[in-house]
């Protein structure tokens, strides 16, 4: 019976993947970056161009609520890191330095010259800082969206680290069952709202993204060490957008959550010291995925940096951001749903 169910699962998964790929196609272009292709999705018009970098294991889809609005006032691109979304796997190690170099190669090969405004969420915060260090003349300003901090692994409690390891073990289990269709059947992958669920399954319910996520997780501590060594952003405009410390972290025990929120809040505040031209905004009512739960805050933060880069005043933008900070989101927190 077990062998029969496994065979049925294999057939089910193969048919589902073929169907997904038939119904969904990359919205952007697939760019050859040296023997493998990466997906770059650009919309809008104007300058400076804004580049959006996603968190660990995430694709361009996490920017679906922010990119269309940013595209109303400038040119904006999201992309899939190698091995995620519509991008091919990379033969290179999956650390922040390599990922920043791959992003630079992607933009160059796509014919999109800088300088850019960079926005990075979570792990993407490491990547945009590394990009700025490697290519300082290509970066005008930075938005960090609930970004990772180099001390993330050392300043969070042992209980939280155990919780994170349990999640990694769960991801490994899901990866092992992907070929048999169980994650798709149980909704463990592609768990997005109905309007984007088919696309999310097409790019997420496959082995490659789980392998890439595992590799990114394995290099996360190394990423922190790399970023710690590169120093500050100088006087480049910087906005630090942070989750609401009062929101719940899905699945986190109460005692662990209190310790995490305390250390996370302190580390977020410290990120403002990366630039002499910086400020911080807390997205009230939002969990970690601020660009989904409070897209208005991220959009206005990006708009402020763009305006500053154009030589326009950012004072009105900062005022609107602080007003937005007082609003309470009605969306669920802590999940890309």
- Bridge partner list, 275: 234
Coil, strand, or helix at residue 331?
Answer: coil
Question: For residues 11 and 286, which has the higher predicted lDDT (pLDDT)?
Answer: 286
pLDDT band at 258 (very low <50, low <70, confident <90, very high): confident
> Is the CB of residue 70 less than 8 Å from the CB of residue 44?
yes
pLDDT band of 250, cuts 50, 70, 90? low
Find where tokens 């760019």 sit: 31
Q: Quick one: angle between helices 220-228 and 123-134, nearest 10?
A: 40
pLDDT in the model for residue 26 = 92
The reported pLDDT for the residue numbered 331 is: 34
pLDDT at site 271 = 95
pLDDT at 321 over 70: no
Residue 320: which pLDDT band, with cuts at 50, 70 and 90? very low
What does pTM read for this prediction? 0.86
Please report which residue ranges of the chain form alpha helices under DSSP H. Answer: 2-23, 67-70, 96-109, 123-134, 152-155, 158-177, 182-186, 194-204, 207-218, 220-228, 254-271, 290-293, 295-309, 315-325
Structure tokens given for 55:
């968190």
- CATH class name, domain 2-325: alpha beta
Q: Which residue has the higher pLDDT, 168 or 125?
A: 125
Determine whether 238 is exposed, middle or buried from the number of CB atoms within 10 Å of its CB (0-12, 13-18, 19+): buried
Lowest mean pLDDT: which of 32-46, 181-195, 271-285? 181-195
Question: Does residue 330 have a pLDDT over 70?
Answer: no
What dihedral do alpha carbons 301, 298, 265, 246 form, nearest 10°? 130
Q: Which of 311, 241, 336, 246 is nearest to 279 (CA)?
A: 241
Average pLDDT, integer, range 89-110: 96
Q: Do residues 34 and 60 make contact, with C-beta atoms less than 8 angstroms apart?
A: no
Q: Mean pLDDT in the chain? A: 84
Quickly state the pLDDT bin for 200 (edges 50, 70, 90). confident
> Would you state the structure tokens that stand for residue 325, as one six-digit string?
């900070």
Q: What is the pLDDT of residue 325?
A: 47
Please provide residue 116's backbone torsions phi and psi, each rounded to the nearest 5 degrees: -120, 165
Q: Tell me the domain boundaries of the chain.
A: 2-325
CB distance 203 to 59 below 8 Å: yes
DSSP string, 65-114: TTHHHHTTTS-EEEE--TTSTTSPP-SS--SHHHHHHHHHHHHHHTT--S
Place of tokens 């922040």: 96
pLDDT tier, 317 (very low <50, low <70, confident <90, very high otherwise): very low
pLDDT surpassing 90 at residue 108: yes
Average pLDDT over residues 146-150: 93
pLDDT in tens, 66-78: 999 999 999 999 9
142 vs 165, residue with greater confidence: 142
Query: In the block, which residue shows the tokens 């790019």?
Result: 203
C-alpha distance from residue 126 to each of 134, 282, 321, 322 (Å): 12, 19, 24, 25
Q: How far apart are CA 317 and CA 55, in angstroms?
A: 25
Q: How many CA atoms lie within 13 A of 297 on its CB side?
A: 32
Mean pLDDT for 274-293 is 93
- Residue 79's closest CA among 61, 93, 57, 94? 61
Q: Integer distance in angstroms from the first to the last C-alpha of the chain?
A: 35
With a cut of 90, say whether residue 195 has pLDDT above it: no
Per the model's pLDDT, the better-predicted residue between 167 and 276 turns out to be 276
Which of 291, 280, 279, 301 lies closest to 329, judged by CA? 291
């Amino acid at each position: 019976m077990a062998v029969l169910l496994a065979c049925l699962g294999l057939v089910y998964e193969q048919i589902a993947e073929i169907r997904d790929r038939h119904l969904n196609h990359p919205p952007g272009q697939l760019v050859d970056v040296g023997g493998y292709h990466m997906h770059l999705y650009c919309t809008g018009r104007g300058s400076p161009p804004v580049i959006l970098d996603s968190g660990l294991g995430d694709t361009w889809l996490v920017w679906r609520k922010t990119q269309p609005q940013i595209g109303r006032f400038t040119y904006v691109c999201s992309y899939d890191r190698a091995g995620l979304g519509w991008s091919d796997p990379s033969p290179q190690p999956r650390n922040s330095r390599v990922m920043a170099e791959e992003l630079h190669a992607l933009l160059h090969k796509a014919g999109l010259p800088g300088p850019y405004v960079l926005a990075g969420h979570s792990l993407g915060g490491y990547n945009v800082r590394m990009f700025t260090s490697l290519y300082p003349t290509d970066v005008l300003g930075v938005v960090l969206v609930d970004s990772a901090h180099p001390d993330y692994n050392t300043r969070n409690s042992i209980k939280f680290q155990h919780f994170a390891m349990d999640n990694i073990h769960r991801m490994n289990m899901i990866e092992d069952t992907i070929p048999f269709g169980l994650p798709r059947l149980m909704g463990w992958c592609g768990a997005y709202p109905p309007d984007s669920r088919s696309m999310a399954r097409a790019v997420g319910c496959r082995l490659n993204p789980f392998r890439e996520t595992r590799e990114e997780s394995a290099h996360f501590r190394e990423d922190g060490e790399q970023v710690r060594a590169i120093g500050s952003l100088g006087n480049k405009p910087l906005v630090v957008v942070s989750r609401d410390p009062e929101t719940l972290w899905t699945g986190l025990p109460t005692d662990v959550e209190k310790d995490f929120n305390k250390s996370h809040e302190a580390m977020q505040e410290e990120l403002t010291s990366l630039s002499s031209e910086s400020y911080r905004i807390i997205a009230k009512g939002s969990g970690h995925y601020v660009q989904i739960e409070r897209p208005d805050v991220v959009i206005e933060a990006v708009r402020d940096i763009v305006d500053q880069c154009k030589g326009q005043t950012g004072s009105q933008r900062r005022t609107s951001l602080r007003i937005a900070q007082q609003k309470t989101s009605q969306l669920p927190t802590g999940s890309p749903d």
